[in-house]
Amino acid sequence: MAAIAAERYTGANIKRSEDPRILTGAGRYVDDIKLPGMLHAAFVRSPLAHALVLSIDVSAARALPGVVAVLTGAELEEITVPGPDALMALIGGEGPTPEFTLLATDKVRFAGDPVALVIAESRYVAEDGCELVEVEYEDLPPVTHASFALDPSSPPLFANLGDNIARPHTRSEFGDVSATFADADRVMDFRISVHRHQNVPMEGRGCVASYDTGPGVMTVHAATQSVHVTKIAVAMRLGMEQDKVRVVAGDIGGSFGLKIGASREELAVAAASRALGRPVKWVEDRGENLTASGQAREESFDVRAAVSNDGDLLGLDVKMIIDTGAYPGLGVTVPAIVEEMLPGPYKLAALGFESTAVITNKATYVAYRGPWASETFLRERILDVIAKDLGLDPLEIRLRNVAPRTDPPAVMITGRPLPGVTTRESLERIAQLVDFPAFRRRQAEARERGRYLGIGMATFIEAAPGPRSPEGPSGPLGIESMRLRLEEDGIVALFTGQMPHGQSHQTTLAQIAADEFGVPFEQVRVVVGDTDVVPFGLTGGSRSATMTGGVALHGARQLKAKVLDFASHLMEASVRDLQITDGRVWVRGDPASAIGVGEVARRAASGQFGSGVDASLEVEAAFDGGEGGWSGGSHCAIVEVDVETGIVTVERYVVAEDCGALINPAIVEGQIRGGIAQGIGAVLLERSAYDEDGNCQSATFMDYLVPTACDIPRIEIEHLETVALDADVNFRGVGEGGMIVAPPTVVNAIEDALSPFGVRIYEQHLPPARILELIAAMSAD
């Protein structure tokens, strides 16, 4: 016992405990589940964007050997409970609610809308069965553009709404908008658009639903960001008591916002399992994923900016239209977040914001990594345009407008305070790292040789979890819970409602708890993915670093206090004199007294202590986010545009990031790089495309292009010294920032590269053909 380790795991690049199984093929994803008697599901999907369903003939499919059942939309309605989308019911969507059936019944609303479910002995036979289902449709005019959806003459997708408005027009004003615009030196107008693109986790949606008819218990093996939200959705739709539904999950192959709760298909599969009394598996194929799982963004903004001749951004007036697709869900909640976040880290004094959410014949809007990110895109885009018009440089205009770090902190005009925000520092740091003057010289030389280099910067903040507010917890979704227990083998078990799908919680939470409790990292076990044993929780919104990191820290502290209290009886020493290090409890100054924490737990379980001694070495911990805070940072890209081919190459990408105290730098950097890759993909490659008839044009990986190893440069990351706001918990979320700020960073760089042509860019998707169009349009003038 001479050497008691004092090193800290928190802050170190501890190798992930997830990796040995993942690297050897021993990960357990939902498609790896095999249950006795398990059947396989496949969906018949609409080939049309908008049509009446006149008839469905399933007789040939039912007659196919190996097909066990075919369920139509109408039949599923008979065995389920009608209701709104469970997630929307949970987070309280206001306004009219469209009718919501698991499968289309009288009408199909996007190409890919499921109309029937075939259940068979194998997926191959289930798909054979789908081929035999005959559906007779009558075409309706497709509503494929938001502009048409806004037209009262467009055919309503949902009869009970009467129009195609998912959330009606609203307007708010912060500050004195009219006076700000009246007094401004100049008012500039922009129309900014963001295209439809999507999550594309490498593993699509899927589940295995297994209903046990005896006890009437439904077990769903899910790929989800929250086993509890999935459980609530299943219980609601199937009309079951919640305690009769158990949702479990193993490894999950990415999500990025897609797998929250349970989709219509997953609920249909659960209903089918109950009807048949057998386990049913459904795992979507890539075609289903790209056409029917959901898509994100597709927003447009009419922006008026009040600007001083010195480059002060005084006010914004923004009209937002969001295209929420065919079965509106989370999309209707996005404009409110965009509105709140629009000022960003800047001292914007006036904001007018109006929005309308529309319904179209496209796949449903789903959350995708920073769902409100368009606010950063439009703000960081127009700042560059304003700077160009005023002859300022992009760093100068940002530094001029950024809110000062004061005490008490500056407050966004929309209401949230900005404590500890280091935007100025991160902007100045990337400018140093990149050396703008040197780049400008190189750029000028390159142009003389007919090569077009450009540099772009952008900055963001993210409420991860957000500053503490007087009204309540700083974290979105309120408090975070965790149960912690010292096991008799000395393992400290953490039961968390987080459902990691790449975030490495099994490593990071163990680092924090190991340090706080005083055991080796390997002696902490993070238990996830079973509604029977983990508390409520959800992985998303970049909230887990603070919320779950915080509850792991405080929970480990509480458990340690409990263990020490018990050990004081066991060791006949004062709690004050006891400490736990390296998995052993010992009397300070007397290493020979040390006993392993497992031995302490075994003695506690022995029952030899009377009722006066609390021998339960388990705690229920909760954390409200403490002082919370913002994540943020500034990014800079250097690109080259080949003006002959339109191909953009990202040559260099530099990040100065402040996400508070780092739990595991390698994991933080992985989150940042992954988000940036998705942002680069969104600009240069990815688009969920529809033709005029509403046919999805991006149904394969040959049409929906995601970045490869050749498209993404090395990304240089520097972590800034952070401002500690909380006494203990200063870890802040880093999941979404890369995806939020990379698109404006790259677009700003492209516009800079094309500045000799006078190109101005007001859109986000810039594949080669579009680059050539932009150049040609200016050359033609």
Least Cβ distance, residue 250 to another protein (angstroms): 11
**Sole window of 389-397, 423-431, 497-505, 564-572 interacting with another protein (rule: CB under 8 A):** 497-505
Kindly tell me which of 252 and 359 has the beta carbon lying closer to another protein: 252
- Does residue 551 belong to the site contacting another protein (CB under 8 A)? no
Least Cβ distance, residue 25 to another protein (angstroms): 2
Footprint of another protein on residues 663-682 (CB under 8 A)?
Answer: 666-667, 669-671, 673-674, 676-678
For 766, counting Cβ atoms within 10 Å of its Cβ (0-12 exposed, 13-18 middle, 19+ buried), the class is buried
Least Cβ distance, residue 669 to another protein (angstroms): 8
Least Cβ distance, residue 231 to another protein (angstroms): 22
Contact indicator for 738, 676 with CB cutoff of 8 Å: yes
Footprint of another protein on residues 177-206 (CB under 8 A)?
Answer: 200-203
What single-letter DSSP state applies at residue 698? -
The residue whose two tokens read 């006949």 is 572
Among 4, 12, 27, 770, binds another protein (CB under 8 A): 27
Footprint of another protein on residues 341-380 (CB under 8 A)?
Answer: none
Which residues lie across from 190 on neighbouring strands?
Answer: 303
Burial call 701-739: b when 16+ CB within 10 Å, e when fewer: eeebebbeeebbbebebebbebbebbebbbbbbbbbbbb
**Region for 630 from its dihedrals, namely left if φ exceeds 0, alpha if ψ lies in -120 to 50, beta otherwise:** beta
- Does residue 706 belong to the site contacting another protein (CB under 8 A)? yes
Kindly tell me which of 238 and 509 has the beta carbon lying closer to another protein: 509
Least Cβ distance, residue 26 to another protein (angstroms): 7
Kindly tell me which of 190 and 256 has the beta carbon lying closer to another protein: 256
The 239-278 site mask, x for binding another protein (CB under 8 A), equals ------------xxxx-x----------------------
Compute the distance between CA of residue 333 and CA of residue 174 in angstroms, rounded to an integer: 19
Contact indicator for 421, 632 with CB cutoff of 8 Å: yes
- Does residue 23 belong to the site contacting another protein (CB under 8 A)? yes
Among 9, 10, 29, 233, binds another protein (CB under 8 A): 29
Which residues lie across from 304 on neighbouring strands?
Answer: 189, 317
**Sole window of 20-28, 148-156, 181-189, 448-456 interacting with another protein (rule: CB under 8 A):** 20-28
Within 8 A by CB and 6+ apart from 456, the residues are: 384, 394, 636, 637, 639, 744, 745, 746, 747, 748, 749, 750, 751, 752
Kindly tell me which of 259 and 554 has the beta carbon lying closer to another protein: 259
What single-letter DSSP state applies at residue 200? -
- Does residue 611 belong to the site contacting another protein (CB under 8 A)? no
Per-residue CA distances from 596 to 3, 490, 576 (Å): 15, 7, 18
Kindly tell me which of 48 and 699 has the beta carbon lying closer to another protein: 699
Kindly tell me which of 33 and 338 has the beta carbon lying closer to another protein: 33
Among 152, 391, 607, 714, binds another protein (CB under 8 A): 714
**Region for 662 from its dihedrals, namely left if φ exceeds 0, alpha if ψ lies in -120 to 50, beta otherwise:** beta
The 108-127 site mask, x for binding another protein (CB under 8 A), equals ----------------x---
The 271-290 site mask, x for binding another protein (CB under 8 A), equals --------------xx----
Helix (H) or strand (E) holding 179: helix 177-183
The 34-53 site mask, x for binding another protein (CB under 8 A), equals x-------------------
Kindly tell me which of 587 and 655 has the beta carbon lying closer to another protein: 655
Contact indicator for 544, 607 with CB cutoff of 8 Å: no
Least Cβ distance, residue 38 to another protein (angstroms): 11
Angle (CA) 191-196-198 rounded to 5° is 145
Within 8 A by CB and 6+ apart from 710, the residues are: none
Kindly tell me which of 282 and 630 has the beta carbon lying closer to another protein: 282
What single-letter DSSP state applies at residue 332? G
Contact indicator for 197, 678 with CB cutoff of 8 Å: no
Give how many residues touch another protein by CB under 8 A.
54
Give SS3 for 636: strand
Cβ count within 10 A of residue 490: 18
Give the interface with another protein as residue ranges (CB under 8 A).
Answer: 13, 15-16, 18-20, 22-29, 31-32, 34, 124, 200-203, 251-254, 256, 285-286, 501-504, 666-667, 669-671, 673-674, 676-678, 700-702, 706-710, 712, 714-715
